[in-house]
Amino acid sequence: MPVPDFQSMMLPVLKLAGDEREHTTKEAAETLAEVFHLTDAEKLERVAPGKPSILRNRVAWALVFLRRAALLVSTGSGTFRLTARGSQVLADDPPSLTVKHLMQLPDFAAFPSTVPGHGAAAQPTGGAAQTPEEVLESSYQLLRHQLAGDLLERVRSCTPMFFEGLVLDLLVAMGYGGSREDAAKVGRTGDGGIDGIIKEDKLGLDAVYVQAKRWQGTVGRPIVQAFAGSLEGHKANKGVLITTSTFSRDAEEFVGRLSRRIVLIDGGKLAGLMIDHGVGVTGVATYTVKKVDSDYFEEE
């Protein structure tokens, strides 16, 4: 089953603390993984690459709500235990525990109305199943997807000469070519794209053959095979084939069987690289998410 939302985790976490012993967030995550019969893949699923697992993230937010409601109390960095009020709630043997239930408690009533589930106007786009971090991540991915679509539309409508410059700017931003001038030293074919050899790194230790075209339809194996032939003629072992459309499965499988290293970049990947390397985009706003520095509050 998928990882349950953080509200579904609140009662199991409270029951874990029912033995009135001290517990850790890690222990709570491990216990809930067993309670909900999560697979190894589900336990490792992350909010985003490099971020905590969805399981740990949701357990952490369940703990936040339970502490705000004074059902649990923090006993240290990442540790907690049951309170007298928490014991009373468990004694009532509730079938479930949600934010709506916690709102009935006096301590929780003072909790800011900007948290998910607290106040109708504060409901996140993902609903109560998502934690604030997940709402931020999903909102970011939605904005990124929309931006990628807008970028690709603009790229497809630009002139061949502008597209050539765009590709050069992207390659330089990614660290290829050494400089805009070095990267520009490619042979123009005059067919609406660029074809030539650029430096793989700033020292020019190796070369990469690049072909970029604004295809409208799906790029099939014949075009990729012709590109591989061009590499043969230039005695190049590495190549990048860029298109504003997509590659057929046959073309991708063909590249996978080659001894030469050829990277295929379709329209979606092209837009993603432009976003990642700041080509054709500009920043609108930056949000820094902070957390309490536990080390700062350690008293000697």
Q: What is the pLDDT of residues 84-142, one digit of tens each?
A: 999 999 999 999 998 888 888 876 755 554 444 444 333 333 445 677 788 888 788 87
154-173 tens-digit pLDDT = 898 888 778 878 888 898 88
Per-residue DSSP letter, 246: -
pLDDT band at 201 (very low <50, low <70, confident <90, very high): confident
Bridge partners (DSSP) of residue 262 are 239
Which tops the pLDDT comparison, 69 or 186? 69
* CB-count burial class (<10 Å; 0-12, 13-18, 19+) for 13: buried
Decide if pLDDT at 11 tops 80.
yes
159-167 CB contacts, 8 Å cutoff, 24+ apart: 160/191, 160/192, 160/193, 160/214, 163/192, 163/193, 163/212, 163/214, 164/188, 164/193, 164/194, 164/212, 166/274, 166/279, 166/280, 167/194, 167/210, 167/212, 167/242
Element (H, E) at 243: strand 238-243
Taking residues 171-183, what's their average pLDDT?
75
Distance in angstroms (rounded) separating the CA atoms of residues 21 and 34: 19
The domains located in the chain, with CATH, are 6-130 (1.10.10), 159-276 (3.40.1340.10)
Q: What is the pTM of this model?
A: 0.66
Q: Which of 15-19, 228-232, 241-245 has the lowest mean pLDDT?
A: 228-232
Percent of the chain with pLDDT over 90: 35
